[in-house]
Amino acid sequence: MGFHKCCCLFIPPRVLENLARTGVEQARLSIQQSQQSRAKRGAKIVDMATFTATRKAEAAKRQVYDCKRTWLQRVNLVRSEGAPASTDVAVNDAYNFAGKLRDYFKKVLGRNSIDNLGMDLILNVHFGLKYMNAFWDGDEMTFGDGDGEIFINFSKSLDVVAHELAHGVTQFTANLEYKSQSGALNEHFSDVFGSAITQYADKQTADDADWLIGDEIMGPDLYGEALRSMKAPGTAYDNSLLGKDPQPDHMNSYYAGPEDNEGVHINSGIPNKAFYRVAMDIGTDKAVLVWYAALQKLWATANFNDAVGVIVDSARLLTRAGKVPVGSPQTVRAAFKAVGLPT
Amino acid sequence: MGPEVPGDYMAPIGVPVTMHIDFECSGGFANLRLIYRADTAELPQELSSELFGLVEGSGVFELQESDVAPQSPGPPDVFFYRLSLAEGGRKTSLSFNDVTAPAQLHPLLARLRELALEQRRNGK
Ligand SMILES: [Zn+2]
């Protein structure tokens, strides 16, 4: 049951902070994000059950809202779980992609929706006017239509929708802080799931995948460009409108400036390249098992070195369990070494 | 809307009012960095009035930094904004993001984003 239609309690921020501090899993919702959601939508009511350990599993129902080109979320509920297709392509894309993502997490990774408790999947489409962005705000996904020239509808791409949903998964697992290296890891995990799920859905292997992120949402002005390349970070675009892809593919060109929350979408190129190398060696399906295991063990302030340690250790444990090929820990170590990690 | 409440901003008679705009929109899924700086005195009349109208409609001068400043980084992929406006005796300088900005501010932000891209297209 969604929080908007059940008996709810507003939880004081201090209670949330204490719950988070004492490590209650369901309280690991970013406190800041909840604060922002409340600020944005007035006193947005938070389901008490979300923050207790006794919450029952839900059915991960999809709800697609049309924002009707306003700057508000959840304006019109246009397609709920099981409802017939809409006449609006963006609504159906969001609905169908969310279904694929839910199935992938369940079948391949054994995860029951974003929070592993069957949380409903809320998707907002047609947000704003010419809004060239998509985001996860702490409890739902929101997609703009793009300007129609540089970008088209952001909900048109499975890897974009997967990327945003994966931010939710990260929030309910490692809850990586969205700045500097932990933020770049947050971005990295979203790109990993975006690519892995696209390859799974399109029945591609690491070898024949394009490893591009965002190529499906480029509009007529920049058709053929992409936003990120996991295979060759720094090469996704180079044009007068967007400039040049700033992603490094090695620690020796690490971005240390203040922009983009200290480079969360920039330095993610470094672990992205390492994931690509591992996937080319053991297969994307196996590599993603290792990364997902690691995501569940990482913590909010983990840096690149921490992540390397946890990912290698996850590879070792999965090798012992017979889930990934013998030699996977060595492959992972070599892939990170090739991008200059650990430092 | 009655005739005494015009849609476009009207300067007090005899006082030429110009506005200085300094806008930056960065980050987001695409990690954009869009900058627009302008003095309305140097803009075509139509655009200048449009911007005055959007600024008035946004209520930006009534916003306090503490109302809109993000308390911590994130949430993921929202745009981050810096907006400074100076007009007559009024001045404001704010930082916020897509979810901390009130809905009525967004039309102004969207237009400034568009103008930043237009400038880039024209090679400025
Ligand atoms: Zn992201």
How far apart, in whole angstroms, are the C-alpha atoms of residue A238 and residue B33? 14
Residues of A in contact with B29 (CB under 8 A): 133-135, 154, 160, 163-164, 214, 227
Per-residue pLDDT reduced to its tens digit, B46-96: 999 999 999 999 999 999 999 999 998 999 999 999 999 999 889 999 999
Where are the domains positioned within chain A? 2-51, 62-156, 180-338
Provide the pairing of β-strand A243-244 with A238-239: antiparallel
| Nearest CA distance, A104 vs chain B (angstrom) | 22
Cβ distance A40 to B113 less than 8 Å, yes or no, reads no
Question: What are residue A62's DSSP bridge partners?
Answer: A121
**CA dihedral sign of residues A9, B102, A179, A193:** positive
Total CB pairs under 8 A between chain A and B: 120
Fold of the B20-119 domain: Mago nashi protein (3.30.1560)
> Block means of pLDDT (10 residues each) for chain A, length 343 residues?
31 40 38 41 40 69 98 98 98 98 98 98 98 97 98 98 98 98 98 98 97 97 97 97 97 97 98 98 98 98 98 98 98 98 98
Cβ distance B75 to A135 less than 8 Å, yes or no, reads yes
Q: Measured between CB atoms, which of A30, A241, A264 is closest to B117?
A: A241
* Res. B11: pLDDT tops 60: no
**Residue A223 burial (CB < 10 Å; 0-12/13-18/19+)?**
exposed
User: How many C-beta atoms surround the C-beta of residue A333 within 10 A?
Assistant: 18
How far apart, in whole angstroms, are the C-alpha atoms of residue A199 and residue A286? 13
Encoded tokens for A230: 């996991």
Q: Which CATH class is domain A180-338?
A: mainly alpha
Give the pLDDT of residue A55.
65
Cβ distance A261 to B110 less than 8 Å, yes or no, reads no
Residues of A annotated catalytic, as ranges: 164, 265
B64 touches chain A (CB under 8 A): no
B118 touches chain A (CB under 8 A): no
Contact A130, A196 (CB under 8 A): no
How far apart, in whole angstroms, are the C-alpha atoms of residue A210 and residue A260? 25
| Nearest CA distance, B45 vs chain A (angstrom) | 24
**CA dihedral sign of residues B65, B67, B68, B71:** positive
B28 touches chain A (CB under 8 A): yes
Residue B123 pLDDT class (50, 70, 90 cuts): confident
Residues of A in contact with B110 (CB under 8 A): 128-131
**Residue B93 burial (CB < 10 Å; 0-12/13-18/19+)?**
exposed
Where are the domains positioned within chain B? 20-119
> In chain A, positions 232-251, which contact chain B (CB-CB < 8 Å)?
240-243, 246
Q: Measured between CB atoms, which of B26, B71, B73 is closest to A183?
A: B73
DSSP symbols for A173-187: TT---SSHHHHHHHH
Kindly give the interhelix angle for A31-40 and A13-21, rounded to the nearest 10 degrees.
160
B41 touches chain A (CB under 8 A): no
Domains A62-156 and A180-338 share a fold: no
How far apart, in whole angstroms, are the C-alpha atoms of residue A231 and residue A188? 13
Cβ distance A178 to B71 less than 8 Å, yes or no, reads no
**CA dihedral sign of residues A68, A71, A72, A74:** positive
Give the pLDDT of residue A134.
98
Q: Measured between CB atoms, which of A150, A261, A265 is closest to B73?
A: A261
Q: Ligand 1 centre and the CA of A263: distance in Å?
A: 12
Run of H or E including A198: helix A180-201
Contact A50, A29 (CB under 8 A): yes
Encoded tokens for A104: 């992938």
Q: Ligand 1 centre and the CA of B33: distance in Å?
A: 16
| Nearest CA distance, B25 vs chain A (angstrom) | 10
State whether ipTM is beyond 0.95: no
The yes/no answer on whether domain A62-156 falls in CATH 3.90.940.20 is no
The residue in chain B having the minimum alpha-carbon distance to the alpha carbon of residue A39 is B100
Q: Measured between CB atoms, which of B26, B28, B75 is closest to A36?
A: B75
The residue in chain A having the minimum alpha-carbon distance to the alpha carbon of residue B33 is A242
CA distances from A196 to A203, B26, B79 (A): 10, 27, 26
What does the longest C-alpha to C-alpha distance in chain A come to? 54
HSE-CB at B41 with a 13 A cutoff on CA atoms is 9
Q: How far is CA A18 from the centre of its chain?
A: 26
Q: Which of A16, A38, A122, A137 to mutate to test the interface with B (most CBs of B within 10 A)?
A: A137
Gyration radius of chain A's alpha carbons: 19
A21 touches chain B (CB under 8 A): no
Cβ distance A150 to B117 less than 8 Å, yes or no, reads yes
Residue with the bigger pLDDT between A145 and B17: it is A145
- Residue environment code for B73-82, b if the CB has 16+ CB neighbours within 10 A, otherwise e: bbbbbbbbbe
Cβ distance A261 to B74 less than 8 Å, yes or no, reads yes
How far apart, in whole angstroms, are the C-alpha atoms of residue B28 and residue B65? 21
User: How many C-beta atoms surround the C-beta of residue A88 within 10 A?
Assistant: 16
The DSSP secondary-structure symbol of A60 reads: -
HSE-CB at A19 with a 13 A cutoff on CA atoms is 20
Amino acid sitting at position A159: D
Give the pLDDT of residue A169.
98
| Nearest CA distance, A324 vs chain B (angstrom) | 31
Kindly give the interhelix angle for A180-201 and A304-320, rounded to the nearest 10 degrees.
40
Q: Measured between CB atoms, which of B79, B99, B106 is closest to A37?
A: B99
Give the pLDDT of residue A48.
40
Residues of A in contact with B117 (CB under 8 A): 147, 150, 241
Residues of B in contact with A150 (CB under 8 A): 117
Ranges of beta strands (E only) in chain A are 62-66, 76-80, 121-127, 134-136, 141-144, 212-213, 228-229, 238-239, 243-244
Q: Angle A272-A273-A276 (CA atoms, 0-180°, nearest 5)?
A: 90
Instruction: Please state, rounded to an integer, the average pLDDT across all residues of chain B.
Output: 90
